[in-house]
Chains A and B, each alone.
Chain A
Amino acid sequence: MALPLYYNWRNLFVRKLSTMLTFAVVAVIVLVLAVLLSFAAGIRASLASSGSRSNIMVLKPGATAESTSIILPDEISKLVQAPHVARGGDGRPLVSEELCVQTSIPRSTDGTLANVAVRGVAPVAFDVHREVRLIEGRRFDDGALEVIVGKAARDRYANLQIGGEVPLGKLSNRTYRVVGVFEAGGGALESEIWAGLTSIRDSFDRRFSSSAVLALDDAVRADETIAAINGPSIQLEARRESDYYIELSRKTREIVLLTSILIGIMSIGAVFAVANTMYASVDGRRREIAMLRTIGFSRGAILTAFLIESMLICVVACAAGIGGSLLLSGSRQDFLSDTTWTVLAYELRITGDIVVSALGLAVVVGAVGALAPALRASRIRVIEALRKA
């Protein structure tokens, strides 16, 4: 027969201070774990939802990012002939020639400057990047000094609301007006500013493009298209658009690794803190435990009772830690990619995975920490314990 959960719960309040302090230790560790992982999760979520598997991104061989790639006009015309390129309603191939430049814009929070990506695109871009959808205002007129901005960019950087003005150009002397806001499925494009290809070319005095994105009519046969583009007749470097963005999230691995090491060490410390509290609890209740044994509870029941008690503290602490981290969830951060040299604005996210790992951590800490004290409790010699004052 097992002891009722109610017994465990009430016991936690007998030694309030001790329980509270242990609770706080576990809650703090869970909070740190959740916050650190939410950075990585936010970045990865944003990059993972960027780009389409049925689009092909083409860069110059050797370039690591759009911003360091140069594609010449005659290369674009060769790309049009790559196999399986989809065609638009007007029968023209869906090949979007894009020019990526950047400008610094103050963050709306603290006014520090961020290097924001500016993408010059032709109208066909909206058929290629199908996830891009206007949520406010209208599209820019190609050739006019007008831009549309991503939702994340609008929230994170100053003066990007509709009607706002952005100085762009080689000399930052052309003032573009924000005429629309777009979303792109939460992806990296939402951190960007888009304008007409011709006006961006003119303002920045560039005659080439940075990249080309091709929409395929058959995503399954992307490998053939990639092979053709990488091959001798075109000699550019193609990859799936989604793969390009996943590659950018490589940096988050370092954060996750560092987090794991730090949290791992601190959790071992927490195991000892829990053990300490539980030992004190067992020692203070020797008579009570002997009593329970006398009235018929088995060793197993006593052992389980203490394990449950400890895990109760840890699970409740975990809930508190997660609760604390939720306060930060959704807040906008940005990070400067060292590959593209532009900022990616993302939201901190407490994902299901994070909750599961935090809960797992709490349960393990609670169980391991209570194991030795619970064993001691289950082995208490009944007669001796009852006799002692």
Chain B
Amino acid sequence: MTISYVLMQNLRRNRLRTGLTLVAFALPMAIFVAAISFVVALVELSAASQKELRLAVHQKTTITNMLPEALRRKIEALDPDRQRLTAVCGMRWFGGRVPGEQNTITSLAADADTFPIVYSDTNLTDADVAEWMRERRAAVVGQAVAERYGWKVGDLRTLTSTVPPYLSLEFKIVKIVDNPTRQNFFYFRRDYLQESRKAAGSDDPLCNVFWIKCRSAEALRSLQKDIDATFAHTPDETKSEDENAFAANFIQAAGNIPGLMQAMALVVVVIIALVAGNTMMMSFRERTRELGVFKAIGFPRLRVFIIVLGESLMLALIGALLGVLPTVTMLTLFPLPRLNFGPITQLRISPVAVVGSLIIALAVGIAAGLWPAYQAMRLRTTDALRSVA
């Protein structure tokens, strides 16, 4: 008679209770795995942005105050031999909307010549770059945006800006980017924007932000210091931040969903621990006599301890699997494509989250079983045999 046989039999004894506990355990676990996947996706995203070694330079007070485009040359002049930086790309917010839609697309006009270098994570091929340089109205679009509106490469699409002078511009989509870091963006050429603005009577070559592709993390930090020092006490004081610090300014606009997800994960752990603990206490209390019999026929204390703890572990693991597996299957088949919480556009379950959930379940199983198991071990055989359930 192996331990696992005893464990299974014990779980089967009160099927109703086992069933109830499993469901009460599985549902919060389903939330847990989804919430942790979200957090993991954010962490991965910020690690991926970190690797891109991009530095954002914007006006010191607020990003809505703009900087002259000539700043690009001044930044480039800080490193004439290109020891620290590879390219600088000026960007201006367009804030375009599909006519008739409420949602503003994160659409930005970028310096055409340096965009493919600074945003190498758009994975433009040589042919894509050639098309981007040739077609004045070229647009590089994130997959999430393209899917939301059903756009394909080669489509001509019009966006209307939400900032003065509220231009309506026609774009030709030359590339749809599937890299997770660029899902929610729409880039087009700044010279096109500038010409159109000029035609509409506003000739002001300004940028909201300059993105600098750096050669190394050290170069990024030294440039950050040098740039802010260079422009201090000039009409265009700057603030430089790496991409993650820059993005942190915006994440809050989504209603702090990441914080919410972390809190949810924590709450779930508390709940499942309570549920499992409750069941284990009940089942221990009922079986005090039986444990006494085990002891009477010579089971060592440790074995009794393991039997009770093992049952709790088993319950937690099965409960976790029941919660995690359907969630993983569901979200793999239907990955919530219209999700729009900050930078996360699709909730894909990551293996890290699954493993994390199982580890948490194990920990909860141990925590819930520890006290009953300890009591079982300390049980005095005579008392146990005498007790009534």
Contact = CB atoms under 8 A, between A and B. Distances in A.
B20 A272 contact: yes
Contacts of B20: 272-273, 275-276, 279
Contacts of A258: 257, 260
A320 interface: no
A142 B277 CA distance: 67
A21 B64 contact: no
Interface string B13-50: 00011001101111110110000000000000000000
Contacts of A70: 164
Contacts, number: 137
Contact of A276 (B21, B65, B161, B268): B21
Contact of B31 (A28, A39, A265, A277): A265
A248 to B, nearest CB: 12
Chain A interface secondary structure, helix, strand, loop or mixed?
A: helix
A351 to B, nearest CB: 18
B166 interface: yes
Given A63-B164, A70-B164, A280 B264 contact: no
B278 A170 contact: no
Contacts of A18: 278, 281-282
A12 to B, nearest CB: 14
B62 A280 contact: no
B27 A63 contact: no
A24 interface: yes
Nearest to B267: A32
A62 B267 CA distance: 43
B252 interface: yes
A62 B252 contact: no
Interface residues on B, range: 35 or more
Given A170-B65, A266-B27, A276-B17, A63 B271 contact: no
Nearest to B341: A254
A103 B239 CA distance: 14
Contacts of B253: 335-338
A269 B23 contact: yes
B237 A172 contact: yes
A200 B47 CA distance: 41
Contacts of A25: 271, 274-275
A151 to B, nearest CB: 22
Contacts of B161: 62
A259 B317 CA distance: 27
B31 A251 contact: no
Given A276-B17, A337-B253, A32 B164 contact: no
Given A18-B281, A276-B278, A279-B20, A171 B27 contact: no
6 contacts: A68-B164, A102-B62, A171-B235, A171-B237, A265-B27, A280-B17
